[in-house]
Structure 1
Amino acid sequence: MKAAVLKQIGDAELEVRSDVATTEVGPDEVRVRVKASGICHTDLSAMNGGLPALAPGIMGHEGAGEVVTTGERVTHLQAGDRVVLSFVPPCSRCAACLGGQPYLCEVHVVDSFVSPRFAVADEPAFGFAGCGTFAEEMVVPAEAAVKVDDDVPHEIAALIACGVLTGVGSVLNTAKVEPGSTVAVIGCGGVGISVIQGARIAGASQIVAVDPVVAKHDAALRFGATRATTPDGLAEVSREVTGGRGFDYAFEVVGRAATIRAAYDAARRGGTAVIVGAGSQEEKVEFSAQELFVNERNIVPSFYGSADPRRDTGRMVALWRAGLLDLEGMISRRLPLADINDGLAALRSGDNAVVRQIVTFDQE
């Protein structure tokens, strides 16, 4: 089968090969035929070594498809089921899962770093984040495949898999934004747009989108932002919107030290800075002990939108059906797997209005 292979960490491009195979389906696993996969900044970060990944490996972690085969102990899925793929599948047995924090489950995540899910020319290869959605098929734990109704388009389901659960979840699950709140969102890529939509759904009265790329401002306004500005204009907009008090919630969706610091500074005293961006360990953020004590601003990390994919996938579908969550509008471009490097280059440039690009395997 075809798949986009990262030969070694640091490579700027993936190699689309046809000599890739999946591992055999274990008793608690399923084989999924991938139908759509989003291209996410996290893939770029993994390729350049900013986030943990193994090579050789199959990239991609935001996907959806159809179940082909189920393991002998899998009872809740069957061949033909349409599924959203989760890169943090809960095991339902560990302390994190039993404590109500399934997004912190490490059981399958750890296993993905020691168990190759693919073979490239008969050599073992890993699936990024336990997935590898830039492949025509993949084998994953059954818990990683969340069933959705057959009328949910594959590309819509793929968006939910990562960007939407992460962004909307950070608002509704992590921050629990209250109606009438003021919100700033720093970073207006795919996840940032999802944060903006989440803030709109939560009933925020003011949603200020912040991005240095002016071309992204129109999209931010279209999805629910009430104002849009570059970082240089944020202080002035904050004075106009909050009277200089600062925002109730400031979401950082970039993963850089400077933007994390900017989110903290943008939040009001007693407000909350929510860190959504996936940053590398080299990004160091500095605060003085005094300012942390005096300002009493909350700094809240949001991993995977504090989501339970078994619960929140259905919630996102319901919001989409109700017309409250615009997912079709987030798709800026559809492309075949053969053009994956063009999609990565467009994302890497960062100077355009791309929200989400979708690899659709039916184009192959």
Structure 2
Amino acid sequence: MKVKAAILTGAGEDWQTATLELDPPKAGEVLVRVEYAGLCRSDEHRRHGNPEGRYPLVGGHEGSGIVEAVGDGVTRLQPGDHVILSVLPQCGMCQFCTTGRSRMCDLAAHVPTGAMPDGTFRARLDGEYLGGFCMLGTFADHVVVTQASCVKIEPWFPLDVAALLSCGVPTGWGSAVYVGEVQPGETVVVVGVGGVGINAVQGARSAGASHIIAVDPVAMKRDFARELGATHVAATAEEGAELARRLSRGTGADVVIVTVGVLTSEITSSALEMVGKGGRLVLTATADDSADVNVQVPGNRVTFYNISIRGALLGGCNSQYDVPRLARLYDEGLLKLDELITKRYSVDQVGLAYRDVVEGRVVRGVIEHVHG
């Protein structure tokens, strides 16, 4: 079948729209009609070659849609099911899945190439096969993916906001709730309140933090963070650190979560300085592959203050469990998702959309696919 998609032909190249040939699903795979794709900044990092991987590539690693066909041996899904497409697959059988760490599933070894678990591809352009970013490629109006990348959702759940549960929402929310282990009454600083950080604010709020400081240079994002639960805002790390000291009566923040667009040594070091006794520094943001991010760690302070530094892949979430959980929180009015989508685009506007993302004009944007 023919599908319309936004693709990358190489590192540093612009997004372009193309018509692809899509092969049918093989064993263990499903064909999904993609209704919405989220615009997460990781796709723009990939445009610049970070992380390294195979090209050409169909963009998009957040998405939602409806199953249209299934291959042999598919047991989790059937045609007509509504699904979100998870940024990371979960086979349910490897050592990481069976020990509650499915975000590190062995199938993710195929993420750099975008191939299926058998190492082959389903989308073609002029005879050349394309991988899908994170084994998905949701900037296409239809995708063939492994069933391990799908999470079934209830039909009542709106598909536009469902797309955000593929990556950005659980990553931010879980960075506070699971990785940061925010406790009632604590002081939390979120550095960078874009599409991921704004959900760390929501996670900290749901965990009962008394003080939530949102740090971002963009005024619109600071104002939005207040609407979604931040008690205080700051334009710079210095302002955020001073607020944390004052609100904690001099002890410093209990949890600092770094969710900036591009991680640097300076940002990480300044975030560590905000952490108080017994505190946790959560690194959710990623750096450019070409840059070494070195953190000057004052060893005695980290040891004597019992400070921990934690990485947060997908916010420590298990998509098969946490996506339904987040959907229930949304249904109960405890998680705001509709408000996150500040602009909608067509698949022809992916380049424009990412300019808006990089320049801070949107919190979350989505691609709305058009089906004939």
How far is the alpha carbon of 1:294 from its aligned partner?
3.4
TM-score under structure 2 length normalisation: 0.93
Residue among 311, 319, 326 paired with 1:301: 311
8 Å contact kept, 1:273–1:299: yes
Residue among 173, 182, 191 paired with 1:177: 182
* Letter of the 2:6 counterpart: A
1:155 counterpart = 2:152: no
1:279 counterpart = 2:326: no
How far is the alpha carbon of 1:116 from its aligned partner?
2.8
- Larger fraction in helix: 1
8 Å contact kept, 2:245–2:253: no
SS of 2:280's equivalent in the other structure is strand
How far is the alpha carbon of 1:152 from its aligned partner?
0.9
Residue among 187, 192, 204 paired with 2:192: 187
Residue of structure 2 in register with 1:14 after alignment: 15
Matches within 5 A, 1:151-300: 151-231=156-236, 232-254=238-260, 255-281=263-289, 282-286=291-295, 287-300=297-310
Residue of structure 1 in register with 2:76 after alignment: 76
Q: Residue by residue, what CA displacement relative to the aligned partner does 1:209-242 show, whole Å, maximum 9, x if unpaired?
A: 0011222111010010000001131232123211
Instruction: State the alpha-carbon separation in 2 of the partners of residues 191 and 3 from structure 1.
Output: 25
Residue of structure 2 in register with 1:334 after alignment: 344
How far is the alpha carbon of 1:145 from its aligned partner?
1.0
In structure 2, the CA distance between the partners of 1:183 and 1:25, relative to structure 1 (3 Å rule), is same
Residue of structure 1 in register with 2:26 after alignment: 26
TM-score under structure 1 length normalisation: 0.95
- Flag structure 1 segments of 5+ consecutive residues without an equivalent: none
Instruction: State the alpha-carbon separation in 1 of the partners of residues 110 and 255 from structure 2.
Output: 33
8 Å contact kept, 2:287–2:293: no
Instruction: State the alpha-carbon separation in 2 of the partners of residues 28 and 253 from structure 1.
Output: 35
Instruction: State the alpha-carbon separation in 1 of the partners of residues 223 and 229 from structure 2.
Output: 10
8 Å contact kept, 2:357–2:363: no
Root mean square deviation, CA, Å: 1.6
Is the deviation greater in 258-267 or in 192-201?
Answer: 258-267
8 Å contact kept, 2:170–2:314: yes
Instruction: State the alpha-carbon separation in 2 of the partners of residues 262 and 138 from structure 1.
Output: 42
* Letter of the 2:169 counterpart: V
* Letter of the 1:51 counterpart: P
Is the deviation greater in 287-296 or in 273-282?
Answer: 287-296
Q: Residue by residue, what CA displacement relative to the aligned partner does 1:35-57 show, whole Å, maximum 9, x if unpaired?
A: 00111111111111222332100
8 Å contact kept, 1:31–1:139: yes
Instruction: State the alpha-carbon separation in 1 of the partners of residues 250 and 215 from structure 2.
Output: 17
Residue among 5, 9, 14 paired with 1:3: 5
8 Å contact kept, 1:4–1:16: yes
8 Å contact kept, 1:117–1:127: no
8 Å contact kept, 1:51–1:279: no
Is the deviation greater in 280-289 or in 212-221?
Answer: 280-289
Matches within 5 A, 1:32-181: 32-110=32-110, 112=114, 114-181=119-186
How far is the alpha carbon of 1:22 from its aligned partner?
2.4
How far is the alpha carbon of 1:291 from its aligned partner?
3.8
Instruction: State the alpha-carbon separation in 2 of the partners of residues 99 and 341 from structure 1.
Output: 40
Q: Residue by residue, what CA displacement relative to the aligned partner does 1:253-303 show, whole Å, maximum 9, x if unpaired?
A: 023322222221111122000111122342322224344333331101010
* Count of residues in Structure 1 that have an aligned counterpart in Structure 2: 360
